[in-house]
Amino acid sequence: MKRVISLLVLFVFSFSLLTINVKATEVTTSAMGTVLYCVDNNSVLYGKNENVKMKMASTTKLMTALLTIEYAEKHNNPIVTFKKSMIEEGSSMYLKVNEKVTLKDLCVGMLLPSGNDAATASAIKIAGSKEKFAELMNKRAKQIGMENTNFVTPSGLDDDNHFSTPYDMALLMKECSENKEFMKICGSKSMTVSFVSPKDKIVTYQNHNRLLSLYENCIGGKTGYTESAGRCLVTIAKKNAITLIAVTLGDKNDWKDHINLYDYGFSKVKTKVFKEETLIQQLVGGVKDKTNIKLKEKVFILNNKSDKIERKIFLSPFAYCPIKKSDKAGVINYYRNGKLLEKNIIKYQEDIEYKETEKSFWDFIKELFNG
């Protein structure tokens, strides 16, 4: 009987150790809501209440800044005169009444020091009021696919009807990442703004997103905090051609959690890499006998363990001169599990002039096949 009990205890103890080891390999956060999103294949690598509606505080400014930059690009970056109606409580870029800055300067003010004054000033300049601007925000949210989001304020100050989800905020960050000017601003640790008026006012703003310094692969994001929303953080990171987005809402340990999420995500996502290589093509009737065509490295995200990516190169063994740089040389087809995934044109990378030669075409063919 003692032997049976001992074996049972040993089994339970061993199972407990096994369970502990399994859990140790999983990622966890202290956030109310979390999502780790892979941009490359639109997959959720980890989620916790990712579709639950929550307050998102100043991460709201991702949408405000995106609309502001797009408006600025279409309207030659208008100048904004700061008015009393634009004054807002909370975090600020410290604009004073009658000072003048450009719309893109306001983006610096809302993305780096998280200025509520900058967000409100932009909203009023573009739409005439915060309420009208919120309509633009919600219209764009629907276009992006943010099905569980409603914007009320451009700054993210608390309102019962102002909410989003971790998943929706990941979709928003993905949309923002496609705008180069946006990423230049939100990925900067600091930026200097030269005011239009007064002309001698120059201010350097520091980015509140500490992950830019704490995690080398972080390329941007936005912080947020209100007493009711707690600490909110949306970031984006890139490593080895893989782009991930991490969102935590209501998280006391957001910096640490984002690092852990990225370490987990980058270790989990698998890729197929076609390394950089050089193709050689023989030439007929040119000042050179051959030309080199360099293929850049190409990376594909594998959707699962059985996913198979293949490549076929279609390039003639020889070409007639003259040839021009950027002319079509051939084609590369990429296939996922036998189906065409992507088709790329191979282009010449140099100009090669025609040269008179005494050799006939058939002489060249003989030399080519005789080595």
Catalytic residues: 58, 61, 114
Q: What gap in Å lies between CA 119 and CA 220, rounded to an integer?
A: 18
Give, for 237, the enclosing helix (H) or strand (E). strand 230-239
Q: What gap in Å lies between CA 141 and CA 251, rounded to an integer?
A: 24
Q: What is the dihedral of CA 106, 109, 114, 115, to 10 degrees?
A: -70
Kind of pairing, strands 79-81 and 271-274?
unpaired
Q: What gap in Å lies between CA 144 and CA 288, rounded to an integer?
A: 52
CA 51 vs. chain centroid, Å, equals: 20
Q: What gap in Å lies between CA 259 and CA 237, rounded to an integer?
A: 10
In the sheet that 309-315 helps form, which strands lie side by side, from edge to edge? 309-315, 328-336, 339-347
245-280 burial by CB neighbour count: b if 16+ within 10 A, else e?
bbbbbbbeebbebbbbbbebbbeebeebebeeeeee
Kind of pairing, strands 318-320 and 277-284?
parallel
- Other beta carbons within 10 Å of 236: 27
Q: What gap in Å lies between CA 204 and CA 22, rounded to an integer?
A: 47
The structure tokens 């490549």 sit at 311
Nearest 5°: CA angle at 240, between 174 and 234? 30
Classified as helix, coil or strand, 81 is strand
